[in-house]
Amino acid sequence: MSNFVHPCLLQLLPLLFFVLVLLFCASCQSASVDLNPEDKASLLLFRSWIQDPVHGLSTWLGSNCTNWTGLVCQNHSGQVISINLRNVNLSGYIHPNLCNLLFLETLVLSENGFTGQIPLCFGRLQNLKTLDLSHNRFGGVVPDSLMRLRQLKELTLNGNHDLGGVVPWWVGNFSTNLEILDLGFNSFHGTIPESLFYCKSLKYLDLGNNYLSGDLHDFFQPLVFLNLSSNSLSGTLPCFSASIRSLGVLNLARNSIVGGIPTCIASLEELTHLNLSFNHLNYAISPRLVFSEKLLALDLSFNDLSGPLPTKIAETTEKSGLVLLDLSHNCFSGGIPLKITELKSLQALFLSHNLLTGEIPARIGNLTYLQVIDLSRNSLSGSIPLNIVGCFQLLALVLNNNNLSGQIQPELDALDSLKVLDISNNGISGEIPLTLAGCKSLEIVDFSSNNLSGNLNDAITKWSNLRYLSLARNKFSGSLPSWLFTFEEIQMMDFSGNKFSGFIPDGNFNISLEFNNGDVRRLPAEPFLAIRNIEIKISVLVVDNSELSFNYHLSSTAGIDLSDNLLHGEIPHGLFGLQGLEYLNLSYNFLDGQVPSLEKMQRLRALDLSHNSLSGQIPGNISRLKELVLVNFSYNSLSGFVPQKEGYGRFPGAFAGNPDLCVESPRVKCDSGSLPTVPAKSFEETEGPISVWIFCISAFVSFYFCVVTLFCSTRARSYLLQTKV
């Protein structure tokens, strides 16, 4: 019965369909708005002045406003009331006729390539409520004509690096409707205009990344967002009392603010993001400085704060609380308080570069949302707590430069999302557990400067995304495995300062994408030590109330370091065929044979083969290896003649300790006749008839002088005469 349809309804269906078609056509017709002819002419002139390589304005044809990209028109008059051409890849100058659109309320030209100065005629657009010219190439100063825009609610000019001068004095009182003012990432200098501190309608203020100076003052309006970061502001922190129930984001990072952190800052009830990093804040943090559970990100890094870490820095609930806590690069001392392990929502914990002592709390494993732990460069002791595997979402574990001991626990394989593992410069011993094969996401592994031992096991081969691997300065031994150069993403491997023996494996060197990238990158010349050092910059950003964006930057050359081991045998020729290799150190081994050709190593910046037993000739002309800043062939058994034109003259001292090698220079001329130019050639093959005669004459003269010298010596003559035949 439920599927039964009355016959009358069936007869009405065609009629209903016809009515629906009529309604649809009527709506389509009503949506069609004829563009005002004068506005159309002005827009076409605007288009004629700009470049549109991707044809983003190809729809600007005909008179139907709804077909024109980015336009909104009034239904009856056809007057243009909104232009939104954000990120359409436009460039060029703005035609003054655009200012004839007197009914315009919204003008958005952001994320394009417009140049020149902001047109003075924009002051005629007195109905304008939104003006967004951000992320273009406008220069000069903000024209005073904009003060006539009394209806303006939003003025966004950020990201125009050549736009500067002083911030206009009128910017805080020209419009009683102004809510958003964004002048960040420009070149403004001078002090913040006093009018901005009293603009009652203002809610969002961004003056970050400029050259503003002067003392930081309090604001007397209820702001929601305040960014003054990356300027040269000084003075002490105000309380922002007028914003106690409104301010959500406060960013004063990278200024010159001094003094302590006043406890009144914790009274900001709606605060979700507080960044005071890179200032000169000092003194201890008061125990009364406790933020509400609404605070998501707290960054106090790179200051001079001292005393113990706060036992309680923010309230927390099961569903809310701190996501990011960064207290790194300060002078905090004492242990890590257990209260930190109660911040259940925490996803990133940075306590590095302090004076912390004691052990890592075992309860840290209770922070199940943690993605980043950085406790490096402190004086922490004890072992890595086994409970840390409770942080099963961990992406980065950085514990380097402490006093940690014990062994690498096999259970760490539970951290199968781990990308960065750095436990270098500690006292950790034992072997690399085979179970670490389960950490298949690893990209950065630094075990250097510990007491680790044993052979290299196959667990490492499971780290298929490996970009950086350092086992330097440990006690590893045995032969280097055949899989050593089989990582596609590898950028740097450092096995120096161990007891590896045997040959360098002559495997497939063509697997690594980085080692084989022959595109020459123009890099600044750096000292040798700077080439060896790496820096891992981990950054996190709270993008939502519960989400964190993790990123890291690996600052390292593409290199291989096998120095200071017990390796012997010849250098594999494939190693010198890596076009992308920038750094190669095989020094302090027992390698022999000849040095392979360098001609394919176009990106090579540093080569150290010193303190081996290499023999034969130096490789040929290296003058076209423009990136090369260091070469060291010293203390080998190299021989022959290195002409000045070979290009080695810019590396003084590179050939010391090779007595059979002559390096030509403006002050030193080598006797090419007495030095073989090609190794393993016989005397007859390298010398002509004239050279043979010269040799015979010099031999006769030498013999004559020896005899004369002997007989001129009284002692030698008497000895020879008294000897019995």
Please provide the size of the chain in residues. 725
DSSP one-letter code for 636: S
Q: Which one-letter amino acid corresponds to residue 37?
A: P
Give the three-class secondary structure for 42.
helix
For residue 695, the model assigns a pLDDT of: 38
- Give how far Cα 479 sits from Cα of 505, 563, 716, Å: 9, 14, 58
Which stretches within 515-646 are classed as H helix?
Answer: 528-532
- Dihedral of CA atoms 161, 165, 167, 169 in degrees, nearest 10, equals -160
Q: Which one-letter amino acid corresponds to residue 61?
A: L
For residue 397, which of 434, 447, 363 has the smallest C-alpha distance? 447
CB 522 within 8 A of CB 544: no
- Which of 626 and 464 is assigned the larger pLDDT? 464
As a whole number, the mean pLDDT across the chain is 86
Beta bridge pairs of residue 92: 50, 114
**257 vs 305: CA distance, rounded Å:** 13
For residue 583, the model assigns a pLDDT of: 93
Tell me how many degrees the CA angle 110-112-113 measures, rounded to the nearest 5. Answer: 130
CB 92 within 8 A of CB 48: no
H helix or E strand, kind and range, residue 27: helix 7-31
Given a cut of 80, whether residue 26 has pLDDT beyond it is no
- Give how far Cα 295 sits from Cα of 153, 265, 316, Å: 28, 12, 9
DSSP one-letter code for 336: P
**467 vs 474: CA distance, rounded Å:** 20
User: Using CB atoms within 10 A of its CB, is residue 69 exposed (0-12), middle (13-18) or buried (19+)?
Assistant: middle
Q: Which two tokens stand for residue 226?
A: 């305040």
Q: Which two tokens stand for residue 715?
A: 């002692």
Mean of pLDDT values over 396-422: 96
Given a cut of 90, whether residue 518 has pLDDT beyond it is no
**625 vs 623: CA distance, rounded Å:** 5
**593 vs 607: CA distance, rounded Å:** 17
pTM: 0.85
CB 177 within 8 A of CB 155: no
Given a cut of 60, whether residue 608 has pLDDT beyond it is yes
Which stretches within 501-554 are classed as H helix?
Answer: 528-532
**406 vs 276: CA distance, rounded Å:** 37
For residue 537, the model assigns a pLDDT of: 76
Given a cut of 90, whether residue 99 has pLDDT beyond it is yes
For residue 318, which of 541, 546, 547 has the smallest C-alpha distance? 546
List, in order, residues 6 or more apart from 246 with CB less than 8 Å away. 203, 222, 223, 224, 270
| pLDDT (tens digit per residue) in 613-659 | 999 998 887 878 888 899 999 999 999 888 877 778 888 889 999 99
CB 308 within 8 A of CB 330: no
| pLDDT (tens digit per residue) in 663-714 | 887 777 887 554 444 333 332 333 333 333 333 434 443 444 333 343 344 4
Mean of pLDDT values over 425-433: 97
Given a cut of 50, whether residue 571 has pLDDT beyond it is yes
